[in-house]
Structure 1
Amino acid sequence: VTHLFLASNCFYINNSHSSGLCLDVLMSYTGSLPCGGWDCECAFRRQQSCCCVAQPLFDLEEATFIRMVGLWEGLSHLNSQIEELTAGCKISFNAAMLPMSGCLGPFTSNVSISYQSVSLNQGNGYNPALGTFTAPHAGLYSFSFTAYSNVGSAGQRLYQKMQLMKNGQLIASSWEDNREDSEDSSSQTVLLQLRRGCQVYVELMSGRQLCGDTQGQNTFSGYLVYPFSEQ
């Protein structure tokens, strides 16, 4: 059965037999179509459609496709920018002082500590000879250090102060001054915004000392949280 409907805004075909029968019915129709004509692609290949909305639908499909292509190109460009920004930005290090039974210090001036036992140095930003980290890339970095000292017995003076420095500026410190404990430790963790070439290190303050670190418990570590675009 073939149904032919003429409405104020639509010419609709419901084809339950062959497309040839539909074609015969349509070709024999002598009246005027409210939408000016039918679309063969729409009417016969898709089985059900409306001649009045066929072309707008095709236009919408094309516009949607063009927009999707534009979005894909935009995402591809953004992905390229992200890859360019993060390329070579896997930066991290972890180092410890070499085990010692004696003491480091006291000195007459502040001394940068050389953490020579390096277990990680991704990006080669850390220099174990100087104990200094130089930022290979601008970004937000996390740094941590642990200060440990053991004077051997209670009654001896635990007297140390460690300072985390950025380009010669004091950022954070850890200190101990008591005769009640034979050993003690403390840690600090900070987030720093660095430009390429900025230097971060830990120093032992003048007149203070670190003793009895036989297990290499004095450590210094850091890593890049996320990079900044170089300006």
Structure 2
Amino acid sequence: MNLPIMVSIFVLTLFSFGGMIMGSCDIKLESSLIKNLLEMVLKKDSDKGCMLASGKKTPAFSAVLTHKQSASANDVIKFNKVFTNKGKGYNPSTGIFTAPVAGVYQFSSVLMSDKGQYLIASLWHNATRVSSVHIKTQAYQTGALSTVLDLQKGDQIAVKSYGSYKVYSDNLNYCSFSGFVISH
């Protein structure tokens, strides 16, 4: 049986048993869930990432720092090793993520202070400091930043040093920066 016939049978089955599958959900919710499911089935392209209903790629990135980095006040911390960069929004040369599409995004970062030293860093949305982390112990110590932001296309997100500090990392990838679109 070819794919279009199988998809048609699947769709008819979902509509036929929609009430049983969805329980007490209203018809509008049932229709939107079935529509979303069909769009995911029909738009999936593993080589190009998941495609949203609008046909755009789902932006997502994850990068780590693989070495110590000295930073002055307001310097961007550049996470140099990129594992994922769907939508090409993250630039490891600058350390900045530029939103390729408008939407609600989730961002997180983990940082490690150098042994016995302070480290204060912040996550920035364009020119606005969103959240900060202050790390100080006698040993190496990690701290984390996490937030959800409503971005416009072209908005920039970066992790910046608050002052002159050393960010510690090595080939075990103690420091990371990642984000992805939740919806748009």
Same fold (TM over 0.5): yes
Name 2:106's counterpart in structure 1: 142
Mapped contact 1:148–1:186 kept (Cα < 8 A): yes
| Structure 2 stretches lacking a partner, 5+ long | 1-30, 40-51
Q: What CA distance in whole angstroms lies between the structure 1 residues aligned with 2:179 and 2:85? A: 10
Alpha-carbon distance, 1:145 to partner: 0.2
Mapped contact 1:165–1:200 kept (Cα < 8 A): yes
Alpha-carbon distance, 1:85 to partner: 4.6
Residue 189 of structure 1: SS of its match in structure 2?
A: strand
Q: Which of 130, 133, 149 is equivalent to 1:171?
A: 130
1:189 paired to 2:146: yes
Letter in 1 for 2:65: M
Deviation string 1:18-76 (CA, Å, 9 cap, x unpaired) is xxxxxxxxxxxxxxxxxxxxxxxxxxxxxxxxxxxxxxxxxxxxxxxxxxxxxxxxx7x
Normalized against structure 2, the TM-score is what? 0.68
Identity %: 26
Q: Which of 157, 162, 166 is equivalent to 2:121?
A: 162
Mapped contact 1:149–1:213 kept (Cα < 8 A): no
Letter in 1 for 2:180: Y
Greater RCO, 1 or 2 (C-alpha within 8 Å, sep 6+): 2
Name 1:96's counterpart in structure 2: 64
Name 1:110's counterpart in structure 2: 74
Name 2:164's counterpart in structure 1: 207
User: Map of 1:53-92 to 2, 5 A cutoff?
Assistant: 85-92=53-60
The 10-residue stretch of structure 1 (84-93 or 216-225) with the greater mean CA deviation from structure 2? 84-93
Q: What CA distance in whole angstroms lies between the structure 1 residues aligned with 2:159 and 2:183? A: 22
Aligned residues: 141
Letter in 1 for 2:178: S
Residue 206 of structure 1: SS of its match in structure 2?
A: coil
User: Map of 1:16-55 to 2, 5 A cutoff?
Assistant: none
Q: What CA distance in whole angstroms lies between the structure 2 residues aligned with 1:105 and 1:90? A: 33
Larger Cα Rg: Structure 1 or Structure 2? 1
Q: What CA distance in whole angstroms lies between the structure 1 residues aligned with 2:118 and 2:64? A: 20
Normalized against structure 1, the TM-score is what? 0.55
**Runs of 4+ with deviation above 6 angstroms:** none
Root-mean-square deviation over aligned CA pairs: 2.6
1:216 paired to 2:184: no
| Structure 1 stretches lacking a partner, 5+ long | 1-74, 152-156
Deviation string 1:183-223 (CA, Å, 9 cap, x unpaired) is 11011211000001100011112222223544221100000
